[in-house]
Structure 1
Amino acid sequence: MNIELLIAAGVIALILQFFDASLGQGYGTLTPILIILGFDPLDVVLAVLLTSFALSGVTALLHHSYRNIDFSFEKKDFKIAIMLSGFGILGVALGVLLAVNMPDYALKGYIGAVIIITGIAVFLKNKTRSVSWRRLVALGSIASFNKGMTGGGFGPVLAGGQIISGVKSRSAVAITAFVESIVSLAGVIIFLITIGFTSTEGWLIAALLIGGLISTPAAVYIVKHINLNKLRYLIGSAAILSGMIVFLELFI
């Protein structure tokens, strides 16, 4: 156990979870960063999945309690979240199966392009429209498919895709947290069944949880008070930036 590395991991989780809780994207970037820092890849995968489940769940609950969204059973937002969660689990499973037979450069090129296109579409969306369930199903499935193939490209496409489909920005961020929690839980279950758990992961999980829990309330509070159009532009900008980073990884 390296205390300095664990502290660094916790600080990075604090920063990335802030963006994830406020813009619906960012926490997944933690996986390659932790591997670069020297953590075992399998330890990192389980730690990020498990903490993503916990932190995204807390984020969704805080968004509900701050009234950024209403997750009451009879509300449309809850129905959207449940629907996207179901398609999310199926998309992840399909993505994992296909990822085995696709070269890395093709995966990254595809995901980078999808994220950038989604971000641009968020910018171009000027008028309010009723929620399109077909768009939600399509973009939600693509987001989960991305996550299953490489672990990335989930938040930007899911949050941006909801906005394109007519969901308000605040609701899109909260629903993304809800869905990511469910999909991450499915990933944890699959991981534990196939690989198992080691004591090393416990320390890393604790560090990531502490860092993430510190920043989550502030991020949710900002979402409550920020202008909806500004939030939409921030989500679109973050998606475009994420896509560009994915493309850059092809040449590094």
Structure 2
Amino acid sequence: MHNTNQYIPKKQLLSHEHLNNITENKVFNKKMGWEIAQYQEQQSIKHRMRFKAKELKASLWALAVLSIVFGLSCWLATTPFNSTPGIVSNQWNIIWSVTLLAMIFEFLDSAAGMGYGTAFTPLLLIFGYEPLQIIPAIMIQQASAGLTSAYIHKEYGNVEWHIHPISETVKLWLIIASMGILAGVFSITSVYGLLHVAQVWIKLYVVVLLLAMGIISLINAKKVPTYHPKRMFFFGALAGFNKGIGGGGYGPVVTIGGLFSGVPAKTMMAITAFAEGTVCIASIITWFCLLNHGVVINFILLPSMILGSIFAVIAAPYAIRVFPEKMWKKLVPLYCCILAILCLWKLIPSLF
């Protein structure tokens, strides 16, 4: 097993063009998927800030995809189905406060691998929106943003996705996504369909879990853990369960779990985005299946969420590339702790 957390020695550094040629010709027999991120990490911040033509092209493709998703979300907000009551089409508009908050939380989510569902959901509940107006919309937003972000991360050099030979990044995505889908479908159908667990206890469980993981990760931030991919079976299942029952608590568990498992922070955030997008697609399908069992979904918030995510999906992967790895190893768990404390503060009145 290679020591995956050691950077490429400076004497072996290659030009960016030469490195791309080696990657394309598959000279390396073993692909971890974070070699290019480690290569870029040894360059200066000025070098990492350079914006290349292929990255501009990729950004335009991402904008086009998200624009199409925005159009579809506008259509859903006009209540095309009997089971999705919202507002009539001639009264439809963007909720600008939600758009602004979605932009902020999506940037933080894409940059730190967490925070959108975990922090945005309780805030929208405070604004007076219902869970079934929030959670399905967040699933659709996170699916589109996560998959698009995974593509942008690859184009910006934070990660590589190799199929032949299969890279560790793809293996991790398969592990996390498959476990997350199974656990997410179980949690949606059991908690909402069978068990009817009170929302306050669901939120308390997620908050305590995130706080514990954030603190442990902060304590171990300076350590270089050995790579243990099998740990992600557990973290993927735990994160999927959280996602299904509350729309949040997915990114923190997967991202912090990846750091525990020895995956470099920059690459782990890209893997989290890809896995979360995949799990959210499965959750969306599950939610639509529940429409036939009396569950009513309202998409009034969806267009505002999609609009707010368009800028952030491109800006965050760029920020991850530019700023150093050691900063993200401390910032990510610290942000996780802050999220947990804020959620707990909002939750305390409901406990008494």
Shift of residue 50, structure 1, vs aligned partner = 0.8
Pairing 1:28-177 to 2, within 5 Å after superposition = 28=117, 29-73=119-163, 74-99=166-191, 100=195, 102-125=197-220, 126-177=222-273
Counterpart of 1:16 in structure 2: which amino acid? F
Measure, in 2, the Cα distance between the counterparts of 1:115 and 1:32: 15
1:129-152 deviation per Cα after TM superposition (whole angstroms, max 9, x unaligned): 332123211122111122222222
Measure, in 2, the Cα distance between the counterparts of 1:158 and 1:70: 18
Query: Which stretch shifts more, 116-125 or 222-231?
Result: 116-125
Instruction: Note if contact 1:24-1:155 (Cα within 8 Å) is conserved in structure 2.
Output: yes
> In structure 1, the residue corresponding to 2:301 is in which secondary structure?
helix
User: Greater relative contact order: 1 or 2 (C-alpha under 8 angstroms, separation 6 or more)?
Assistant: 1
CA-atom RMSD, angstroms?
Answer: 2.3
Shift of residue 109, structure 1, vs aligned partner = 2.8
Measure, in 1, the Cα distance between the counterparts of 2:318 and 2:151: 12
Counterpart of 2:124 in structure 1: which amino acid? L
Measure, in 2, the Cα distance between the counterparts of 1:35 and 1:172: 30
**Aligned with residue 320 of structure 2, among 199, 220, 223:** 223
Instruction: Note if contact 1:50-1:188 (Cα within 8 Å) is conserved in structure 2.
Output: yes
Counterpart of 1:176 in structure 2: which amino acid? T
Query: Which stretch shifts more, 55-64 or 187-196?
Result: 187-196
Instruction: Note if contact 1:157-1:239 (Cα within 8 Å) is conserved in structure 2.
Output: no
Shift of residue 98, structure 1, vs aligned partner = 4.9
Shift of residue 2, structure 1, vs aligned partner = 6.2
Measure, in 2, the Cα distance between the counterparts of 1:47 and 1:239: 23
Relative to structure 1, is the Cα distance of residues 235 and 184 closer, same or farther in structure 2, using a 3 angstrom cutoff? same
TM-score (norm 1): 0.90
Measure, in 1, the Cα distance between the counterparts of 2:304 and 2:245: 27
Measure, in 2, the Cα distance between the counterparts of 1:24 and 1:242: 12
What residue in structure 2 maps to residue 15 of structure 1? 104
Shift of residue 215, structure 1, vs aligned partner = 1.9
Instruction: Note if contact 1:116-1:244 (Cα within 8 Å) is conserved in structure 2.
Output: yes
- The structure whose Rg is larger is 2
Instruction: Note if contact 2:136-2:297 (Cα within 8 Å) is conserved in structure 1.
Output: no
Relative to structure 1, is the Cα distance of residues 171 and 206 closer, same or farther in structure 2, using a 3 angstrom cutoff? same
Shift of residue 174, structure 1, vs aligned partner = 0.6
Counterpart of 1:116 in structure 2: which amino acid? L
Shift of residue 102, structure 1, vs aligned partner = 3.8
Shift of residue 108, structure 1, vs aligned partner = 2.7
Any unmatched runs of 5+ in structure 1? none
What residue in structure 1 maps to residue 115 of structure 2? 26
Which structure features the higher share of helix residues?
A: 1
Shift of residue 87, structure 1, vs aligned partner = 0.3
Shift of residue 46, structure 1, vs aligned partner = 2.3
Shift of residue 40, structure 1, vs aligned partner = 4.9
Instruction: Note if contact 1:9-1:207 (Cα within 8 Å) is conserved in structure 2.
Output: yes
Instruction: Note if contact 1:14-1:214 (Cα within 8 Å) is conserved in structure 2.
Output: yes
Measure, in 1, the Cα distance between the counterparts of 2:131 and 2:205: 23
Aligned length in residues: 250
TM-score (norm 2): 0.66
Any unmatched runs of 5+ in structure 2? 1-90
Counterpart of 1:237 in structure 2: which amino acid? L
> In structure 1, the residue corresponding to 2:230 is in which secondary structure?
helix
**Aligned with residue 184 of structure 1, among 280, 289, 294:** 280
Measure, in 2, the Cα distance between the counterparts of 1:199 and 1:149: 15
Counterpart of 1:179 in structure 2: which amino acid? A
Relative to structure 1, is the Cα distance of residues 40 and 243 closer, same or farther in structure 2, using a 3 angstrom cutoff? closer
> In structure 2, the residue corresponding to 1:195 is in which secondary structure?
helix
Measure, in 2, the Cα distance between the counterparts of 1:208 and 1:157: 23
